[in-house]
């Protein structure tokens, strides 16, 4: 199986804007393309300081060119625990962010179990563990946004065999599980860190590289909810423990609201990564 190594970390940052008291500093993982880049563009247009993330330097350069006005970029591969730690360290070196959007993800089309350098499934590492590790290691922001999917409702809330060592590999199921994990993490943080606004969102099935050209939802609406939750002044955006679709609350898989399931997921993340979630 292919193995993935952590990429070198490079961070660049222009001085923050001093002319806008309403400006927020926002970090967006996986913002070299797709919804992450679109959300970055919306936030930059609204006058916020946005730091991008890409998995390597070439993509980082492309991301900066594609998002004029972005404050900087952090590069690093979130497929490995070493890469996750390095991205968190590089982001922290830039100072505290007001909001972090955990957008980086891989899709449901992996036909076989691709194993990372840590012996973990590629999908689990990037979609589930990277948001956990960055949440645990980055300086705590005021707002956290986790990008999930409607497929989380098909996720396995038993949390059995997260590493897919006993189960027969199913790419769609692995993706659905990971998107449930994102909701569990958002809700666990909302419960454990009451001073932080922690929410999950469903962007819809939109025509990104991941979603495919036949996706039926409105692409222009795909990035708006995460940008709204990260920096919006609307009282409806200044909440915690919510799950949103197009800026409106939406139902989640019932098990996602279970404190026991949330806590079991956090415990599993601690065991798989060796990193404990800081207490409130």
pLDDT tens per residue across span 219-277 = 678 799 999 999 999 999 999 999 999 999 999 999 999 999 999 999 999 999 999 99
Tell me the H-state helices in 46-170: 57-66, 81-93, 122-123, 130-137
User: What is the rounded distance in angstroms from the CA atom of residue 173 to the CA atom of residue 170?
Assistant: 5
- By percentage, how much of the chain surpasses pLDDT 70? 87
pTM: 0.91
**Active-site annotation holder among 146, 179, 209, 236:** 179
Domain boundaries, the chain: 10-273
User: Taking phi first (over 0 means left), then psi (-120 to 50 degrees means alpha), and beta for anything else, what does residue 274 get?
Assistant: left
Residue 89 known to be catalytic? no
Residue 179 known to be catalytic? yes
Q: Return the bridge partners of 25, or none.
A: 49
* Predicted confidence (pLDDT) per residue in 113-143, tens digit: 999 999 999 999 999 999 999 999 999 999 9
How would CATH label the architecture of 10-273? 3-Layer(aba) Sandwich (3.40)
| Radius of gyration in angstroms for the set of CA atoms belonging to the chain, rounded to a whole number | 17
């Amino acid at each position: 199986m292919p193995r993935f190594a952590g990429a070198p970390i490079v961070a660049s940052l222009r001085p923050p804007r001093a002319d806008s008291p309403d400006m927020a500093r926002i970090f967006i993982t996986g913002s070299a393309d797709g919804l992450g880049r679109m959300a970055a563009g919306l936030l930059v247009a609204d006058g916020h300081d946005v730091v991008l993330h890409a998995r390597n330097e070439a993509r980082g350069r492309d991301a900066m060119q594609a998002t004029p006005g972005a404050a900087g970029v952090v590069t690093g591969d979130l497929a490995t625990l070493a890469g996750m730690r390095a991205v968190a360290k590089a982001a922290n070196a830039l100072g505290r962010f007001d909001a972090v959007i955990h957008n980086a993800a891989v899709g449901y089309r992996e036909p076989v179990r691709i194993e990372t350098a840590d012996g973990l499934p590629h999908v689990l590492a990037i979609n589930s563990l990277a948001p956990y590790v960055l949440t645990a290691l980055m300086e705590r922001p005021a707002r956290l946004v986790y990008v999930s999917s409607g497929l989380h409702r098909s996720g396995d809330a038993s949390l059995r065999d997260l590493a897919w060592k006993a189960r027969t590999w199913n790419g769609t199921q692995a993706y659905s599980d990971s998107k449930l994990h994102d909701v569990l993490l958002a809700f666990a943080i909302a419960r454990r860190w009451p001073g932080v606004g922690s929410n999950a969102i469903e962007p819809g099935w939109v025509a990104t590289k991941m979603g495919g050209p036949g996706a039926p939802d409105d692409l222009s609406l795909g990035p708006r909810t995460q940008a709204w939750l990260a920096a919006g002044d609307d009282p409806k955006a200044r909440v915690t423990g919510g799950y949103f679709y197009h800026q409106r609350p939406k139902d989640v898989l019932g098990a996602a609201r279970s404190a026991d399931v949330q806590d079991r997921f956090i415990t599993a993340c601690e065991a798989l990564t060796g990193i404990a979630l800081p207490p409130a």
